[in-house]
Amino acid sequence: MLKSKRTNYKKPRKEPINQKKTFFTKENLFISRMASILMVPKPMIMGIFSSRAVTTIRLNPLKGNVEATKKALEDKEYKLVEIPWAKNCYYVLNYDKSEVSQSLEYQDGKFYIQNLSSILDSLVLDPQEGEYVLDMCAAPGSKTTHIAALMNNKGKILANDIDMSRVSSLKNVLYQFGAKNAKATYSDSAEFGKKYPEYFDRVLLDAPCSGEGMIYMNSQKPLRFWGLDKIKRNSFLQKDLIISAFRTLKTGGTLVYSTCTLEPEENEGVISFLLQHFPNATVEDIDIDLAGEKGFTSKGITKWSGNTFNPAVKKTLRVIPNSKMMGFYIAKIKKN
């Protein structure tokens, strides 16, 4: 017997003619995400990420008199502007990095070309003569050489990196810039907590990150290395590294954690993770006088993507990308 035909069947609804589908590109995602993180309108993001920071140099007291170096550069018509809160550091207003790196003074190690955000790292660490300092992810060596200069080569620095080729370059940099109290090593920093428990007076962990602070939207394919998967992978690695770093600290020691990313998962989320697992970890205020500088904020993100971070992250520092500094995050932690 034949079945009766269905009479209440509804045909699929056709899409209206000329209806446009919305596709989100990687750039759309980046702009939306950065606007949410920085709490600014979307149209402002392209401007924020479309200006390169002015060239900054750090005169090196380990390779001659800094005043003599400054005079030699000014005699070559370098337009130098002193940075009040960073000793021996200057903006170079009339030359870019490639031009400055060709000078004889640079090749002799009398100054280092270094972004001001990176310089801030060592100043917050505040290493002292005679201490034992660990730079966990040291290559290419900018911060290690700065730490050595601040210590006047008195004390010891263990400068480590997990990439053998980068360690080779690191050794050359340490030699070029006279960091005689620094030793370059090749090892997995995540294992240092087991190898060197309660060993160092100060530890710098400038962690591998997504690098939004260095993204320049006017370049070709600026987002080729950026993605949400990378952010997630980095956050797992950073948590392993900060636990290892904290374990290497002596009681009373100081840990500085930094990244050149703006992602909360890689910044405030990592600090909150440390505080959750170590009650003897305390976030300290960053007491460098940054008055007059634009692009800084101490308004740590306490909520993000369904997560609530430790309120202490308000003491950490964010640098919004600007004409002087790349985007950066920095936290200072004490071991009680």
Q: What is the pLDDT of residue 287?
A: 85
Q: Which of 69, 262, 283 is nearest to 178 (CA)?
A: 69
Q: Which CATH code of 3.40.50.150, 3.60.15.10, 3.40.1190.20, 3.30.420.40 fits the domain covering 115-335?
A: 3.40.50.150
Ranges of each domain in the chain: 54-114, 115-335
Q: What are 133's two structure tokens? A: 């300092």
| 194 vs 288, higher pLDDT | 194
| 295 vs 155, higher pLDDT | 155
Kindly report, residue by residue over 222-240, the tens digit of the pLDDT: 999 899 999 999 999 999 9
- Residue 307 binned pLDDT confidence (cut-offs 50, 70, 90): confident
Instruction: Report the percent of the chain where pLDDT is more than 70.
Output: 91
Query: Active-site positions?
Result: 260
* Burial track 147-179 (b if 16+ CB lie within 10 A, e otherwise): bbbbbebebbbbbbbeeeebbeebbebbebbbb
Q: What is the pLDDT of residue 184?
A: 97
Across the range 92-113, mean pLDDT stands at 96
Which of 30-34, 231-235, 282-286, 302-306 has the lowest average pLDDT?
302-306
Q: What is the pLDDT of residue 62?
A: 98
Record the pTM.
0.91
Across the range 58-82, mean pLDDT stands at 97
Q: Which of 202, 194, 195, 234 is nearest to 135 (CA)?
A: 202
Across the range 106-122, mean pLDDT stands at 96
- CATH superfamily of domain region 54-114: Sun protein; domain 3 (3.30.70.1170)
